[in-house]
Structure 1
Amino acid sequence: MDFENKTVIITGGAGGIGAAVAREFHARGAKVACCDLNGEAADAVAKECGGFGKRVNVADEGEMVVFIGEVERDLGPVDIFFANAGVGFGDGPVGGAAGAPNANWEKAWQINVMHAVYAARHVLPGMAARGSGAFMITASAAGLLAQIGDAAYSATKAAAISVAESISISHGDRGVQSHAICPQYVKTKMTKDLPEVMTAVDGMITAEDAAKTIVDGVAENRFLILTHPVVADHFAKKAGDRDRWLGGMRKLRRMLLEMNGGRVI
Structure 2
Amino acid sequence: MEVRGKCVVVTGGANGIGRALCDAFARGGARAIGIADIDPSTAASVAAAVQAKYPACQTLPRRVDVSSEAAVQAFADEFTGRFGQIDVFCSNAGIMMRKGIETTDVEWLRMWGVNVMGHVNAAKAVLPQMLARGSGYFVNTVSAAGLLSQIGSASYATTKHAAIGFAEWLSITYGDRGIRVSCVCPQGVQTRMLLGEDGARKGFLQEGSVTPEFVAEKTLEGIANEQFLILPHEEVLEYYRRKGKDYDRWLRGMRRLQEQVSQQFGLGI
TM-score, L = length of structure 2: 0.92
Structure 1 runs of 4+ off > 2 angstroms? 193-199, 262-265
Is 1:217 aligned to 2:222, yes or no? Answer: yes
SS of the aligned residue for 1:178 comes to: strand
Is 1:63 aligned to 2:71, yes or no? Answer: yes
- Whether the aligned pair in 2 keeps the contact of 1:253 and 1:264 (CA below 8 Å) is no
Is 1:234 aligned to 2:239, yes or no? Answer: yes
Equivalents in 1 of 2:5, 2:224: separation in Å? 14
- Whether the aligned pair in 2 keeps the contact of 1:57 and 1:64 (CA below 8 Å) is yes
Q: Please, which runs of 5 or more residues in structure 2 have no aligned partner?
A: 51-56
Matches of residues 95-244 of structure 1 in structure 2 within 5 Å? 97-193=100-196, 195-200=202-207, 203-244=208-249
Q: Please, which runs of 5 or more residues in structure 1 have no aligned partner?
A: 92-96
Equivalents in 2 of 1:166, 1:246: separation in Å? 26
Equivalents in 2 of 1:232, 1:263: separation in Å? 24
SS of the aligned residue for 2:151 comes to: coil
- Whether the aligned pair in 2 keeps the contact of 1:136 and 1:164 (CA below 8 Å) is no
- Whether the aligned pair in 2 keeps the contact of 1:38 and 1:55 (CA below 8 Å) is yes
Q: Residue type of the partner of 2:47?
A: A
Deviation of 1:263 after TM superposition, in Å, equals: 4.0
Q: Residue type of the partner of 2:34?
A: A
* Counterpart in the other structure of 1:13: 13
Is 1:80 aligned to 2:88, yes or no? Answer: yes
Equivalents in 2 of 1:109, 1:256: separation in Å? 26
- Whether the aligned pair in 1 keeps the contact of 2:187 and 2:205 (CA below 8 Å) is no
Deviation of 1:101 after TM superposition, in Å, equals: 1.4
Equivalents in 2 of 1:160, 1:153: separation in Å? 10
Structure 1 residues 150-197: Cα deviation after superposition (integer angstroms, max 9, x where no partner):
011011111111111111111111111011111111110000045443
* Counterpart in the other structure of 2:43: 42
- Whether the aligned pair in 2 keeps the contact of 1:143 and 1:161 (CA below 8 Å) is yes
Equivalents in 2 of 1:179, 1:264: separation in Å? 29
Q: Residue type of the partner of 1:82?
A: C
TM-score, L = length of structure 1: 0.93
* Counterpart in the other structure of 1:94: none
| RMSD, matched Cα | 1.3
- Whether the aligned pair in 2 keeps the contact of 1:35 and 1:43 (CA below 8 Å) is no
- Whether the aligned pair in 1 keeps the contact of 2:26 and 2:33 (CA below 8 Å) is yes
Aligned residues: 257
